[in-house]
Structure 1
Amino acid sequence: MKVSKEQALKFYETMCLIREFETSVKHDFLNGEIPGFVHLYIGEEAVATGICAALDDTDYIESTHRGHGHCIAKGADVDRMMAEIFGKKTGLCKGKGGSMHIADFSVGMLGANGVVGGGYNLAAGAALANKMILKNDRVSVVFFGDGASNRGTFHEAANVSSAWKLPTIFVNEMNQWASTTPYETTTAVKDISDRAKGYHMPAVIADGKNVFEVYAAAVGAVERARAGEGPTFIECKTFRVEGHFVGDPELYRTREYVKENAALNDPLTWFDRTMTRKNGYIDGVIEPQELEAVRAAAKEKIVKAKEFAMSSEYPDPDQYTADLYL
């Protein structure tokens, strides 16, 4: 699918912003500045970027424990995201959600989720509400990994979405690892999207490092959902560069394996190489200095986000239970 040069640069801006955000968070976590756990999205930037570029602000996404990239791609404010991760009251959830529970309803981001496979039925529920109660054409996307595809909640959400033709889009980030387990040891199918056949659901496989291919798959799924034709399954072949969490000793795979696969699957490197020469995605090329300008701007934006977070205050102790269901 061809897009304008401006759209391609917008894709790159989002991917660079995600990469810089995650790089900053990794540094600060290892430096002991961030509480709890963080799970990084490095290497998977093209998936969130391509999917969310096909959505409107009023459409919904449901994320995972590895959700920073989804938040940024859907349009969440990076200053308030960073403040949330640092537990500050200026955060999107007033510092009470942290890395694994960021939400921003104003841009349709229904929340990251610390429960593996916990997002399916939330996304299907949003789709159900839009179709049968609110009667609009909004779509609902659920992101999930290969490990989460083995949870029973996937069956429940896929079945009801197909049976009732709900505008649900299932986006599998097939990053090859479920926590510390290679997906082929727990999953019988080579392509997880094959499971869509059991629900009479169309499926497409996209190269997870190619943001244009992901975007094209998302555009088709969104058009189908808005037309009342029901759900679509999109499997994005990608690679989890970092460990399951920051600080993971990664005893289950070698550094050589990670280095080799990271190089083969890096969406930013692929974009740099492809866009600076003639290609089938845009008319013309993007000059190296244009790419550098985007990278520099993303870096500066994340530096300012960190400054915002550090200058913000922690929640007042008497507000810790406010807005919570107890």
Structure 2
Amino acid sequence: MTSDTLNPNPLVQALERMVLIRAYEDTLVGLHGQGRAAGTCTSVGQEASAVGVVSALAPEDLILTNHRSAGHLLARGADPGRLMAEVMGKRDGYCKGKSGSLHIASKEIGVVLTSTIVGGELALATGVALSRATLGGEGIVVCFFGDGAACEGRFHESLNLAALWNLPILYVCENNQWQAFVHRKETTLAESVVPQAAALGMDGTSVDGNDVEAVQAAAAEAVAAVRRTRKPFLLETRTYRLRGHFEPDDQSYVDPGELEHWRGRDPIALLRARLERDGRLSAAGADAIAARARAVMEQAVAFAEASPYPGAEDLTSDVYA
């Protein structure tokens, strides 16, 4: 899906990527319901955060992410077919079918790792950035994590070391209000994680994570600051996951009124409405974007299902002592 060749408007391109991410995850949920794919943690509702931040990055920048990683991977340019093959445990997946959906890594697109351990990527990002600072170069490290990880001790430890050692890390907290099955208000009185970074001597800012244009602007400034100063920065994107913690999940623990409010702030619907209102995209053009995403996913599923499973000889490959 090469949106760059379809429409030169950056916001239309952002919509293309967001729609593709949604189509990928909706497809995966559907396949799981049919018993054709494993369950996963989706990022439905958080697409503006992923696309807005990743659009500000350069090819030499490295990404570490968490269990809601599909949006980050696809925004970075990952192939939907290879992602789907990986989730299905097939040999043509990014990690040869050995990672599932929660541990995908891809050196070719600069994604160092996906960690399913809450906050695990925070600790590892410190080491990756220390290596980058030691070796030099313009590239920075971007670490995505959720508000649940911000309640972990490793959050404070990692940010403290990054600030103390002047490490070029952009920390991105996707504050989606839920920590697995526990609401954020049950775990902390703080409305934002930015003051916690400030207490460690780190600059930061908070932005509406469902407004991709606002995220793009904030991310561009944050990335520029990290690149210029070689010091860490915290960007908080305030968003919401519209599906449960892990598929399947009926979200019976969620206040229906709260869920309905955030469905009204669906980032894809908001961006589409803005583009149509401003005359930058027609309704037919928006429908065509959705149709292209569905076609891409049909091809991705066909590719993944045709891919072979790893053989017995793969059991000990890519294993290091």
TM range (shorter): over 0.9
How far apart in 1 are the matches of 2:283 and 2:266? 17
Q: Of the candidates 78, 81, 89, which is equivalent to residue 79 of structure 1?
A: 81
Deviates more, 1:152-161 or 1:246-255: 246-255
Deviation at 1:312, TM superposition (A): 0.6
Aligned match of 1:295: 290
> Does the 8 Å contact 1:58/1:107 carry over to 2?
no
Aligned match of 1:236: 237
Aligned match of 1:60: 62
- The gaps in structure 2 that reach 5 residues or longer are 1-6
Deviation at 1:188, TM superposition (A): 2.5
Q: CA RMSD in A?
A: 1.5
Change in Cα spacing, 1:103 to 1:40, as seen in structure 2 (3 Å) is same
State the secondary structure of the residue aligned to 1:236.
Answer: strand
Q: Of the candidates 44, 48, 51, which is equivalent to residue 49 of structure 1?
A: 51
How far apart in 2 are the matches of 1:228 and 1:127? 14
Q: How does 1:11-160 map to 2 (within 5 A)?
A: 11-35=14-38, 37-132=39-134, 134-160=135-161
- The gaps in structure 1 that reach 5 residues or longer are 279-283
> Does the 8 Å contact 2:60/2:138 carry over to 1?
no
> Does the 8 Å contact 2:90/2:309 carry over to 1?
yes
The count of aligned residue pairs is 315
State the secondary structure of the residue aligned to 1:95.
Answer: coil
Give deviations 1:64-102, integer Å, cap 9, x for gaps.
111111111111111111100010000000000010011
Deviation at 1:255, TM superposition (A): 4.1
Deviation at 1:321, TM superposition (A): 2.7
Q: Which amino acid letter does the alignment assign opposite residue 78 of structure 2?
A: A
TM-score relative to the length of structure 1: 0.93
Aligned match of 1:252: 253
State the secondary structure of the residue aligned to 1:227.
Answer: helix
How far apart in 2 are the matches of 1:102 and 1:266? 26
Deviation at 1:157, TM superposition (A): 1.5
How far apart in 2 are the matches of 1:255 and 1:96? 37
Quote the sequence identity (%). Answer: 35
Give deviations 1:93-113, integer Å, cap 9, x for gaps.
000001001111111111211
> Does the 8 Å contact 2:66/2:121 carry over to 1?
yes
Give deviations 1:186-220, integer Å, cap 9, x for gaps.
11311122211111111111111111111111111
TM-score relative to the length of structure 2: 0.94
How far apart in 1 are the matches of 2:257 and 2:320? 46
> Does the 8 Å contact 2:140/2:170 carry over to 1?
yes
Give deviations 1:20-56, integer Å, cap 9, x for gaps.
0000000111211123x30001000000100000001
